[in-house]
Every structure is written in structure tokens, then in C-alpha cells.
Amino acid sequence: MKRLKKNSRGLWPGKEKWNCQGEKIKQKEKDHIGEQQKTEHSTHSERKRRDSFGMFDGYDSCSEDTSSSSSSDESEEEVAPLPSSLPIIKNNGQVYTYPDGKSGMATCEMCGMVGVRDAFYSKTKRFCSVSCSRSYSSNSKKASILARLQGKPPTKKAKVLQKQPLVAKLAAYAQYQATLQSQAKTKSAVSLEGFSWGNYINSNSFIAAPVTCFKHAPMGTCWGDISENVRVEVPNTDCSLPTKVFWIAGIVKLAGYNALLRYEGFESDSSLDFWCNICGSDIHPVGWCAASGKPLVPPRTIQHKYTNWKAFLVKRLTGAKTLPPDFSQKVSESMQYPFKPSMRVEVVDKTHLCRTRVAIVESVIGGRLRLVYEESEDKTDDFWCHMYSPLIHHIGWSRSIGHRFKRSDITKKQDGHFDTPPHLFAKVKEVDQSGEWYKEGMKLEAIDPLNLSAICVATIRKVLADGFLMIGIDGSEAADGSDWFCYHATSPSIFPVGFCEINMIELTPPRGYTKLPFKWFDYLRETGSIAAPVKLFNKDVPNHGFRVGMKLEAVDLMEPRLVCVATVTRIIHRLLRIHFDGWEEEYDQWVDCESPDLYPVGWCQLTGYQLQPPAPQTSRESQSGSSKQKKKAKSQQYKGHKKMTPLQLKEELLDGEEYSFLQGASDQESNGSANYYIKQEP
């Protein structure tokens, strides 16, 4: 984070270097504004001077040359002239036209954003941006568009949209609505059932987990001290100019990547506060406008408050913090991912947890991979996971450690497919298996990968190489071991005997075990087993920064293509209890604090991934028998009357959809070593 300072002329820098020490430089007695006048063609010799803010003398607005340059950034086509019927305002010899009310306004057919017609994209002015134009073309079915605007969850085979989500545009639209409050006839709001993080947080006074809690997310390791009161330059939406202009705004509240901003000069007036993604392309450090030749124009609502806006900004911005000058570059670099389409990997077989299969990277969105199993001819047999997930490995991994592997019928790699370099995968901690180590038959406690809300009595069934273990849930194992799952010895998803009791967690006993309440001493004696040594388990607890009640975006590991609005409801050591807003507690999941399946608020908007909003009451009731019913069916494997293997479960699903394996199955991070309170079902 950098503090603003003035240069030798008493002004903020345009392309000058920042004061790294954050020192204040005393203001000169006189502000030499507009010392440099550009010598251009005679037709522009009377051009108005710009100060270092990009503001213009006389009236703080934009001149003809700046208007044209700003317009060119918005559209590739030439801006059409405004209708002659619009009011004309003359100021210091310059003529400006302002659209009034409905005149000159347009509504985007893709996202519903309302704005100045001349700033819209294409000759027909049907869309507000290139993104909306392309998205409309690729999603021409009106039903698909309507479903997205209403925030409805996608169908099983719905594809994630790779377009800028609506949050920023909805915020811009809300600002536009506020500017029309003084008019007698206001434009009716666009009826959307879409979800807005800003409204959700404001209306409930929620707090969000800071970006620094997510080391795997963009900017997670270089977020710096971005906090409240940081100043930025943002588009000024409270303005009737036909071109894109900017103004200074301060951060009022942070929620992940999202920031609640207030235009400079509004003081305690929050009427035009708006939310935006701080990593968005329209957010810039103070001084960017001066360096880029963009105009700074005060909002129309407050432009009467001061006669000398230059002096006002000099006073307010001296010593203030702003974004680092290379912030946008860091954002771009942090969103470059090494995994590419057509790469081959080994990934867990979602129908048989005990083995892996070869899959092809079909697409990469925000570091999340859509993997298509190699034998899938129509590319519908897929699986979603993060590139740092412990469920994916390099080709040859299974053979190297002795893990079961399903050989593909495809004996030769298809053209264009290539093996992923081993160094791109998440590294596991090296262990020494030469001394005291895990042995087959040892008992422990483990998070059930088919029911992530439960910690169960478990047994080590096989010891593999490089510290990997095959584990089964007592009393619920298939005869052929097809539901064994792989955890690394350092996984935060396995715990020593007695862990739940010490941390006041209800341990799920083996199915059919009648001696309740369950006592480990009695069970070990009855089964003739020994407990795995406590010293072999992972006891590292990082300073993760999560707090109970924090909001975030989390993958539903029972349906890993979905990223949902979620809340941290309990923290024990490094283990987080994740609740999906709008759903019952039985769908909660235990996840490790360093899981790559947790993201800051605003991650979906930043990456273009589709966010699943909280389920309303009516949706919960109607969908309890559909997609979420699969979750319940899975959870009942250990709470109901019988145990089903993944293959049996797949056959019993009424809709015939394939079973989606929880990422927690072999996740050394997704399910941490914290403790959890699991409410026992009768």
C-alpha cells in the first residue's frame, strides 16, 4: 500500500514514482496547475488546460479532445451525434450536451444495465460491453439467459459461463437508479432475482473472510494492507456526460475482493455508496487518470458543494493511502494458471473411490479444472476440482505408490493430448516410513468422504508408498474394498483415537454397533485392534485468520462443479465447519483451512465462475427431492438402514445422473484437523 505524496509542483504524480516511505511533502504556497500546455494543430490551440488530477479549469468536466479519447475506450465504432433536442450547456466557450431522463439512455439486453446509449457497444447499441454481446451470442436460448439472471442453479450438465458476472453491473445499475430519485417519473427497476454479495452483506451486517486467508486464490499472497479509507479512482456514474469519466472514492467496507465505495465529497452521506470488485479493470490507484489522460469529474449530486475542487482534493488526498501502482499487473499475474487444456492427469474415479483413472483437462476457470475421463466419447463424464486438489496426480502416480488404477481402453494418446509435468501438482510432505509407522488394521478417526459432516470410526486397510494410506469406514465397507479411500499420512482429515471425545465432537460409530454410547477402549478390546500412534498424525495448525461467522464462497464437495455462498460456523484448530447458506445443517461440510476449495467473497465474479446463491425457502422445499437429495442419500449411508457402495448409489438415483465424489475423499487439505460438532440424527 502506498501513501500519496505531491511532487515538486505540489501535485500528485501521474507517471512519477511513489513515496515508498509514506512521507508527506508540504504543499507549496501556490499550486502550479496546468504549467504544461501541449502544442498541437491550430484547431486545438485553445484547448483547455488539465491539472495533474485530469480535471479541467473553469468547470470540472471534459473537453472535446478528452471526450473523444474516452469514447474510443468504450467502443470501436464512432460515437453517433446526440439528438439536437437535448439541452445544451455552454461553459467557457465549450459546448456540452447532456442526455436528460429517458433520452439518450439504453438498456443492455444481456445484463439489464441501464446507461448512456452512446457509450453502449455495437451500432445497434443493444449491449453495454463486448462481454455482454459475446455472451448473448453464445447463450442465445432465452431460457438459459433468464435462468442465469434469476440466479437459479444450473442443471446437471449446465456449463459454467465464462463471462463477467452481474454483480458489478447490478451495482452500477443501482447507482443509476439513485440518480433518478429527484425526477418525477422514475424508470422501473429491472426485475432480477439474482444474488448480490453487497446487498446480502449490507442487509445482514455480515463480515467476510479476508483475501489473505486464501493463499491459493488470486492476490492471496500479495494483498498487502488494502483496508478501509484507501482511495481509488473509479468511473463516475453520477454524471450526465456522454463519455466515461472518473472520480476519487474511498473504501468504506471490505468483503473479500468486494469493496463498498463512497465518492470523495459525500462525507457521511451513503446514498450513492456502491459495491465493486477491487480487482476489477475499472479500479485504479490515485494518479492513474493524470497518467492516462482521463478526466476527473465530481459527481453531479455534490458538484455544487465546492467551487474549487482542486483545492478540495489536495487537502483530502495528502497522506492518504491508495493502491500500489502495479496492482492491476499483480492481479493479472496471479490469475495465470499453469494447467492447460489437453493435459492428461490421473484423478480419482468418482464411481469407485479406491482407484484412479486418466482424465483430460477440458477447461480451466480460476484455477479450477473441468476434467473429462479419457474414455468419455461425448465428454459428459466429467469431474471438477482445483489444480491444487490432492485428488489429481501426474501420469504414473498410481503405479509408483501401489494405488489401484483403472486402465483405459484407449491404448494410444489422442493427438494434442500430453502428460502434465509432475512439478505442477501440489506437493505432499515427505515422511519417514522406516521407523514406527502405520500398519494395516490400526484404528483411527477419519472424515467420511461420502458424508463430510461426520467423523467416523475407521481402519487402515493398506499402507502404500510415499506416506499414502487406504482407509475404510468401519461397519460400512464393501466386500471388495471398492469404497476404500486414499489419505496421505499428513492429511488433516485423519485423527488419532479419542480426538472427537477430547474436542467434544460426536463420533459416528460403526453401522450396527449396539453398545452405545461408543467407547474406544471397549471397541478396541472387542475387535482385538490397536490404535494408530498419536505422534504419527499431523498436528500443524497455521494462523489461518478465519473467524466464526465469516462469509466466503465454497465448493460443494458433494457436487464439486458448484461454488456456493457459505459461512464458517465453527473452528477447531485448522478445521472449519462450512455451512451453505439457505440449506439445512445436515449438508454442512468439514473443510481444512488451507483447502483449495474455499474462496474469498467475489472470487466467482473475478474469475467468471457461476456462483450459487443461497437457496430460498421455496427452493429448499422443492429441491430437497432433486439435486440436494443426492446429498441426503449419501449421508444416509452411515445414518440410515444400509450401506451402499458408490456404484450401488449411482444405480439407485432416480434421475440416472452419475454420482459425484466428494473432493474430501483423499484431501489432505480440504478436510482439516480441526474438531467438529456433528448433530446426531435419530
Residue 559 pLDDT > 60, yes or no?
yes
Choice between 363 and 626, residue whose per-residue pLDDT is larger: 363
Residue 139 pLDDT > 80, yes or no?
no
Please report which confidence band the pLDDT of residue 573 belongs to, taking 50, 70 and 90 as the band edges.
Answer: very high
Average model confidence (pLDDT) across the chain: 75
- Give the closest residue to 85 by CA, choosing from 103, 63, 102: 103
Grid coordinates given for 483: 469404497
Three-state DSSP state, 370: strand
Strand ranges (E), 514-574 = 550-555, 563-572
**Cα separation, 598 vs 664, whole angstroms:** 13
CB 553 within 8 A of CB 566: yes
Give the residue-averaged pLDDT of 335-360. Answer: 95
What pLDDT sits at residue 415?
A: 77
Strand 88-91, strand 2-3: pairing: unpaired
Q: How many Å from the N-terminal Cα to the C-terminal Cα in the chain? A: 54
pLDDT single digits (tens) 596-622? 999 999 999 999 999 999 988 655 555
**Cα separation, 519 vs 501, whole angstroms:** 10
Give the residue-averaged pLDDT of 371-389. Answer: 93
Q: What percent of the chain has pLDDT over 70?
A: 63
pLDDT single digits (tens) 205-258? 999 999 999 999 999 999 988 999 999 999 999 998 999 999 999 999 999 999
3-class secondary structure per residue, 423-458: HHCCCCCCCCCCCCCCCCCCEEEEEECCEEEEEEEE
Q: Return the amino acid letter for 342.
A: S
Three-state DSSP state, 174: helix
**Cα separation, 371 vs 110, whole angstroms:** 29
- Give the closest residue to 507 by CA, choosing from 491, 523, 485, 492: 523
Three-state DSSP state, 95: strand
What pLDDT sits at residue 334?
A: 96
The radius of gyration of the chain's CA atoms, rounded to the nearest angstrom, is: 29
- Give the closest residue to 354 by CA, choosing from 468, 431, 496: 468
**Cα separation, 630 vs 662, whole angstroms:** 12
Three-state DSSP state, 522: helix
Q: Which alpha helices (DSSP H) does 26-166 contain, by range?
A: 64-74, 130-138, 142-149
Residue 282 pLDDT > 90, yes or no?
yes
Choice between 307 and 50, residue whose per-residue pLDDT is larger: 307
Please report which confidence band the pLDDT of residue 1 belongs to, taking 50, 70 and 90 as the band edges.
Answer: low
* Alpha-carbon torsion (363, 210, 489, 588), positive or negative: negative
Give the residue-averaged pLDDT of 150-158. Answer: 42
CB 562 within 8 A of CB 634: no
- Give the closest residue to 119 by CA, choosing from 15, 5, 243, 35: 243
- Give the closest residue to 595 by CA, choosing from 554, 566, 635: 554
What pLDDT sits at residue 207?
A: 96
What pLDDT sits at residue 91?
A: 33
The Cβ of residue 195 has, within 10 Å, a number of other Cβ atoms equal to 20
- Give the closest residue to 652 by CA, choosing from 630, 631, 673: 630
Across 408-417, 512-521, 624-633, least confident range: 624-633
* Alpha-carbon torsion (629, 630, 636, 641), positive or negative: positive
**Cα separation, 491 vs 428, whole angstroms:** 9
What pLDDT sits at residue 262?
A: 97
Residue 356 pLDDT > 80, yes or no?
yes
Backbone phi, psi, residue 486, to 5°: -105, 125
**Cα separation, 322 vs 264, whole angstroms:** 13
Please report which confidence band the pLDDT of residue 3 belongs to, taking 50, 70 and 90 as the band edges.
Answer: low
Strand 231-235, strand 284-285: pairing: antiparallel
Q: Is the peptide bond before 517 cis (omega within 30 degrees of 0)?
A: yes
Q: Return the amino acid letter for 635.
A: S
Residue 35 pLDDT > 50, yes or no?
no
In the numeric block, the cell 460515437 is attached to: 79
Q: Return the amino acid letter for 524.
A: L
pLDDT single digits (tens) 103-129? 356 777 776 666 666 666 666 777 777
Q: What is the pTM of this model?
A: 0.68
- Give the closest residue to 437 by CA, choosing from 455, 464, 456: 464
**Cα separation, 174 vs 234, whole angstroms:** 16
Q: What percent of the chain has pLDDT over 90?
A: 55
Residue 404 pLDDT > 90, yes or no?
yes
Residue 34 pLDDT > 50, yes or no?
no
Residue 81 pLDDT > 50, yes or no?
no
Give the residue-averaged pLDDT of 625-638. Answer: 41
CB 575 within 8 A of CB 673: yes
Across 118-127, 156-165, 512-521, least confident range: 156-165
Residue 639 pLDDT > 60, yes or no?
no
Q: Return the amino acid letter for 226.
A: I
